[in-house]
Amino acid sequence: MKKRSAARSSAVTGVLALLLAGALAASPAATATGSKPVPPRVPTSTGYGGAVSSLDPVVSEVGLQVLRKGGNATDAAVAMAAAIGVTDPYSAGIGGGGFFVHYDAATGQVETIDGRETAPGAIEHDAFVDPATGEPYPFYPDLVTGGVSVGVPGTPATWERALERWGTTSLRQALRPATKVADQGFVVDQLFHDQTVANQERFEALTSTSELFLPDGEAPEVGSVFRNPDLAATYRLLARGGVDAFYEGVLAEEIADAVQTPPVAPGTELPVPAGSMTAEDLASYEVVDRDPTVVSYRGYDVYGMAPPSSGGTTVGEALNILEQFDLASLDDSAAMHHYIEASALAYADRAAYLGDGDFVDVPVSGLLDDTFAQERACLLDPAAAAAKPVAAGDARSYDGVCDEPAAPASEPEDTESTSTTNLTVADRWGNVVEYTLTIEQIGGSGIVVPGRGFLLNNELTDFSIEYDADDPNRIEPGKRPRSSMSPTIVLADGRPVLALGSPGGSRIITTVMQMLINRIDLGMTIEEAIAAPRATPQNSARTTAEQGFIDRYGTALSGYGHQLVPDVTIGAATAIEIGPDGLLTAVAEPTRLGGGSARVVRPAVP
C-alpha cells in the first residue's frame, strides 16, 4: 500500500448574495411531510463528555453519536467530514481538500495535517488563458466550471492520516454513518435548494452533475428527501479498499477522465475548459504533517495553520500588531478601527509573501516576530485610517524602529470563494480538532465524477489568475495554491481553552480574528463573539461589512476615515470553549446560513 503522508517540520458577488439571502430565510429545521425527522439546529450547548459544532444538524448528530459510542475527537471529525460530503456537497467532499488541526491531550502538542489540493504535474503557466482570445477566462462562471480548475484532491488522504495518527477507529467505521445518510437521504432545506438554483447554469452544462442535482431539470424542492446512492457506493469502495481505492485504480482513472474530458452537455454555452490531471497525479499525492504557526496574545498561545495556508501567519501577525495597543481600554468603535488597520497591514504582507512554502521562501518567523509587529504597528494611527492599500513591510529585515510609510500598493485581487465549511470537536479525554475543508466555489468545478456522486474542486483558481514569476502564489506544477483557511486552537498554560474556525474564502481570516478580539479583548462571551456583526477589512479602500456592523459602528468609523460597504453575510463559524472543570460550551452560528448546530454529550444541568 502506498503511503500518502510525508512528515515535515516546519461576478460571484451577485450569485453569493442570492444564496445568502435564501439561507437567511431558511427555516431552522426543515422537515419532509410524513418522513424523516431532522436533528435540531442548536446554536449553543453546554455540558461535559465531549462536544461538536458544525453548520449542519445531521453532521453534528453524526459526530455526537461517535463521541457517545466512545470515539475520540478525530474519529468524530472524520465521520462528520464524510457526512458533510453528503448533506453539504457544494461546500466540501472527497473531491476537495483542507487543513486539520489537532490538540493531543496525551502529549500537550498541537499538530496539523496539510491536505491541500495540488496542481497537476503538466499544468501550464497560462492554463487560465482562453486560447481563443489570448485573455484569461472570465472568473465566473467560465474559469471555475471545468477541469482546468481542478486540483488533485487531498481530503481522503487527510482522513486516513488523521485516523492513523490520532484515531481509535478505522476508515471503514468512520464512513458508516455518512454512507447511511447517503443511502437513506436527508431533508432538503432552503439553503441547499437555493445553492442548486444559483448553480443551475453550471450544473446544466455537465451531464453527470445535472443528473444528480437537477432531477427532472429542477432543483430539489425544500422538504423533499435527497438521496445519493452513487456516493454511498463510493464510500463503500473506500471502506473496502482504503484511500488507495481513490488514488489508484478505476476511480482514479475516472477522476482523471472527468478532468481531461469533462462530461459536457450538448449545446452548453459555457467553455468548460479541460484540465491536465492524470491518474499518476492522483497516485503521487501526499498529505503533509506540518508544524503549526503560534503566537502569544494577551497570555494565550494561538495556534494556526502554516503555509500554504495564509491563515496562521495573517491572523498571527495582526494579533501581534494589536498587542501593541490596549484594546480593552478603548471603546468598541476605537477597537474596531484598530482591528481594521491591523488587518490591512497583515493582508499587505500576506499578498507579498504567502504561497506554498515548498516552492517559495515564506518568511514565517519574520511575519510572526514581535519586533516586526512593533515596526508594523508604528504605521497604525489610533486616530485616523491610513490610505489603502498600504504597502507590505520587510519581513526579512526589521528592527522594530518606526519608518516612514511606503507608497501605497496596488489594490489586492481576491478570487477566493466564500464557500467552504468548518467543524469543531472536543472529546472526553481533552483532545480537540479544528478542521476546515472545501471544494472552493459553491459547487466546486461543477463536475460530478460520473456515477460516483461527488463534485470535484476548483481549488486551482486560488492561484493568481495571471502568471507572474515574482508572485509567491504563481501557478507551478505540483504546487499547492495559497489558502485563507484558518483553523485555530488557543491554549492557556498549555491547555486548550478555545477552538474555532470558519468558511468564507479570504474572509475566513478576518472572521477568526474578529472572534478572538471579541472574546479576548472586548469581553464578550463566546456566544456573543460568534453572533456579533462582522467586517472583513482586507487592505482595500473600502471595507466590506454586514449591515449590523455598519449600523453599530458606521458613523463612528467614518470619523476615522473608513468607508464601509454592506454585504449580506461574512463567515459561518463554529467554536468550542473549554472552561473550568472541563465545562464545554459549543457554539455555532445562530442565524448565518440558516444557523448551525452545536451539541454536547452530557448537557449541563440548568
- pTM for this one? 0.94
Distance between the two ends of the chain, CA-based, in angstroms? 51
Separation CA 339–CA 344 (nearest Å)? 9
Radius of gyration (Cα) for the chain, nearest Å?
A: 22
Tell how far CA 495 is from the center of its chain.
25
The CATH number that applies at residue 583 is 1.10.246.130
Task: Say yes or no: 531 and 438 in one domain.
Answer: no
Q: Is the alpha carbon torsion for 123, 127, 131, 134 positive or negative?
A: negative
The SS3 call for residue 213 is: helix
pLDDT at 37 (0 to 100): 73
pLDDT at 5 (0 to 100): 60
pLDDT at 19 (0 to 100): 38
Instruction: Look at the chain and report how many structural domains it folds into.
Output: 2
Task: Say yes or no: 240 and 323 in one domain.
Answer: no
Please tell me which residue in 420, 424, 488, 585 is annotated as part of the active site: 420
Task: Say yes or no: 194 and 63 in one domain.
Answer: yes
pLDDT at 606 (0 to 100): 75
Do the beta carbons of residue 165 and residue 77 sit within 8 Å? Answer: no
- Choose the final residue of a domain: 429, 447, 462: 462
- Which residues on neighbouring strands pair with residue 567, listed in sequence order? 546
In a domain, 296, yes or no: yes
Separation CA 29–CA 491 (nearest Å)? 34
Closest C-alpha to 325, from 335, 311, 315: 335
In a domain, 477, yes or no: no
Active-site residue flag, 158: no
Task: Say yes or no: 149 and 261 in one domain.
Answer: yes
Q: What is the dihedral of CA 450, 451, 452, 456, to 10 degrees?
A: 20
DSSP string, 318-359: HHHHHTTS-GGGS-HHHHHHHHHHHHHHHHHHHHHH-S-TTT
Do the beta carbons of residue 560 and residue 337 sit within 8 Å? Answer: yes
In a domain, 542, yes or no: yes
Do the beta carbons of residue 242 and residue 160 sit within 8 Å? Answer: yes
pLDDT at 417 (0 to 100): 52
Task: Say yes or no: 433 and 411 in one domain.
Answer: no
Residue 79 Cα distances to 39, 88, 174, 189, 407, angstroms:
16, 14, 5, 21, 50
Task: Say yes or no: 383 and 453 in one domain.
Answer: no
In a domain, 409, yes or no: yes
**Look-up: residue for cell 489558502?**
483
In a domain, 597, yes or no: no
pLDDT at 27 (0 to 100): 36
The SS3 call for residue 427 is: strand
pLDDT at 403 (0 to 100): 76
Type of residue numbered 516: L
Task: Say yes or no: 232 and 269 in one domain.
Answer: yes
Do the beta carbons of residue 454 and residue 466 sit within 8 Å? Answer: no
Tell me, letter by letter, the H, E, C secondary structure of 162-194.
HHHHHCCCCHHHHHHHHHHHHHHCEECCHHHHH
Q: What does the angle CA 438 – CA 441 – CA 442 come to, to the nearest 5 degrees?
A: 90
- Which residues on neighbouring strands pair with residue 51, listed in sequence order? 426, 600
pLDDT at 413 (0 to 100): 57
Structural domain boundaries, residue 172: 5-91+137-284+420-462
Closest C-alpha to 588, from 521, 501, 522, 510: 501
Task: Say yes or no: 229 and 146 in one domain.
Answer: yes
Task: Say yes or no: 349 and 438 in one domain.
Answer: no
pLDDT at 605 (0 to 100): 83
The stretches in the chain having pLDDT less than 70 are 1-36, 405-418
What's the pLDDT tens digit per position in 295-320? 999 999 999 999 999 999 999 999 99
Task: Say yes or no: 225 and 241 in one domain.
Answer: yes
